[in-house]
Amino acid sequence: QKEVEQDPGPLSVPEGAIVSLNCTYSNSAFQYFMWYRQYSRKGPELLMYTYSSGNKEDGRFTAQVDKSSKYISLFIRDSQPSDSATYLCAMSDHTGFQKLVFGTGTRLLVSP
Amino acid sequence: GAGVSQSPSNKVTEKGKDVELRCDPISGHTALYWYRQRLGQGLEFLIYFQGNSAPDKSGLPSDRFSAERTGESVSTLTIQRTQQEDSAVYLCASSLAFGRGGTEAFFGQGTRLTVV
């Protein structure tokens, strides 16, 4: 069993839809939770990160962490075609960004 | 440059040959990381550097893999006697700080390695 599980998709939605992306994990030592966006042939770029449980909002993006269920989510409101990319969840223990464990990524397609 | 630079962007090599992948981190970034992304899989941690020392090499898959860093600058990942399973995108990232929590790591565009 992988430490981090993520549905690979693809997830296809119309422009303006609310998108929900999720990951589950098994390691209870994880404390830092990140979401990266990766466009084709590019390196991942950090969208958001949270420490421990709770919600964090940044513009159209909301990240949620439920440590009791070992479940994290990223919500994208008013999705745009430019949001079409692969979204990777990543996690780490107390070391923060030093040693990340990534999910396989979910490919998102937003159609105009 | 403004971002993390990796070279070459693409490399095709014959099985059994050695390859060197280069990473130029963002100026002033003391921490540097190498990850591998195989097709259909998530990024796998390989190694990180604080300055030119590597406190954690636990992700290197075998003794065919090695990495070094010159001061707080360029890093080279070397794969000896390449195998087909080494085919992947090798990503480098750098960040400002090292320690508890650290700071955001910025990724380069990666080197796409194909072993034929």
Question: For every one of its 112 residues, what pLDDT tens digit does chain A have, with 9 covering 90 and above?
Answer: 789 999 888 999 999 999 999 999 999 999 999 999 999 989 999 999 888 888 999 999 999 999 999 999 999 999 999 999 999 999 998 777 778 999 999 999 999 9
* Distance, CA of A26 to CA of B97 (rounded, Å): 28
CB contact under 8 A, B104 and A46: yes
pLDDT of B68: 96
Residues of A in contact with B48 (CB under 8 A): 98-99
pLDDT less than 50: residues of chain B: 100
Closest-CA residue in chain B for A43? B109
From chain B, pick out residues whose CB is under 8 angstroms from the CB of A105: 42
Alpha helices in chain B (DSSP H): none
Q: C-alpha dihedral over A73, A49, B26, B62, to 10 degrees? A: -60
How far apart are alpha carbons A37 and A27 in whole angstroms?
Answer: 23
Q: Radius of gyration of chain A from Cα atoms?
A: 13
Is residue A108 within 8 Å of residue A10, measured between CB atoms?
Answer: yes
Residue of chain B nearest A93, judged by CA positions = B101
pLDDT of residue A109: 97
Q: Are B50 and B30 in contact (CB under 8 A)?
A: yes
Residue B88: which of B100, B102, B75, B77 has the closest Cα?
B77
Would you state the pLDDT for residue B99? 53
A97: left (phi over 0), alpha (psi -120 to 50) or beta: alpha
Contact B40 A8 (CB under 8 A): yes
Predicted confidence at residue B98, as pLDDT, reads 55
Identify from B26, B43, B91, B106 which residue to disrupt to test chain A contact, counting A C-beta atoms within 10 A and taking the largest count: B43
The Cα of B4 is separated from the nearest Cα of chain A by a number of Å equal to 10
Peptide bond into A14 cis (omega under 30): no
A→B contacts (Cβ < 8 Å), by residue, are 4, 6, 8, 32, 41-46, 49, 51, 88, 90, 94-105
- Return the residue matching tokens 């400002």: B96
* 3-class SS of residue B86: helix
